[in-house]
Amino acid sequence: MDNITIDTSKESIDKFFDVKIDSILPSKEEFRKLLESGKRLTFYMGADVTAPRLHIGHTIPFLKMSHLQKMGHKIIFLIGDFTGRIGDPTDKSAARTKLTDQEVEANTQAFIQQIKTIFDFNNKENPPEIKFNSTWNSNLSFKDIIELASNFTVQQMIERDMFQKRLKDNKPIYLHEFLYPLIQGYDSVAMEVDGEFGGSDQTFNMLAGRTLVKNILKKEKFIITMKLLLSADGVNKMSKSIGNCIFITDSNHEKFGKIMSLPDNLLIHYFELLTDLNSEELDTLKTRITTEPMLVKKELAYKVVAMFDGEERASEAKTNFEKTVQNKEIPTEIPTFERKNLENQLNPEEKILLKDFITAIGLTASNSESKRLIAENAVEIDQQKKTDPNELINPEEVSLVKVGKRNWKKLI
* pLDDT at position 92 over 60: no
Residues 113 and 209 occupy one common structural domain: yes
Mean pLDDT, residues 83-108 taken together: 66
Alpha-carbon distance of 229 to 59, in angstroms, equals: 10
259 with 375, same domain: the answer is: no
Q: How far apart are CA 255 and CA 304, in angstroms?
A: 8
Please, what is the average pLDDT of the chain? 89
- Within a domain: residue 2? no
| pLDDT classification of 94: cutoffs 50, 70, 90 | very low
pLDDT for residue 2: 59
Query: Are 115 and 129 contacting, i.e. CB atoms less than 8 angstroms apart?
Result: no
> How far, in Å, CA of 192 to CA of 205, rounded?
16
| 245 domain residue, yes or no | no
Residues 183-214: tens digit of each pLDDT: 899 999 999 999 999 888 888 889 999 999 99
Please say which residue of 226, 244, 279 terminates a domain. 226
Q: What is the pLDDT of residue 292?
A: 95
Tally of structural domains, the chain: 3
pLDDT tens digits, 168-183: 999 988 888 888 889 8
| Residue 5 maps to a domain | no
**Chain segment 61-83, per-residue pLDDT in tens:** 988 999 999 999 999 999 888 88
Cα separation, 19 vs 276, in Å, equals: 10
Give yes or no for residue 91 having a pLDDT over 50: no
Q: pLDDT for 217-251, tens place per residue?
A: 999 999 999 999 998 888 888 887 666 689 998 88
Residue 349 — pLDDT band, cuts 50, 70, 90?
confident
In this structure, are 76 and 147 located in the same domain?
Answer: yes
% of the chain exceeding 90 in pLDDT = 52
Do 301 and 246 contact (CB within 8 A), yes or no? no
Domain that holds residue 207: 10-226
Whether 334 contacts 352, CB under 8 Å: no
74-80 β-sheet, strand order = 21-25, 222-226, 195-199, 42-48, 74-80, 129-132
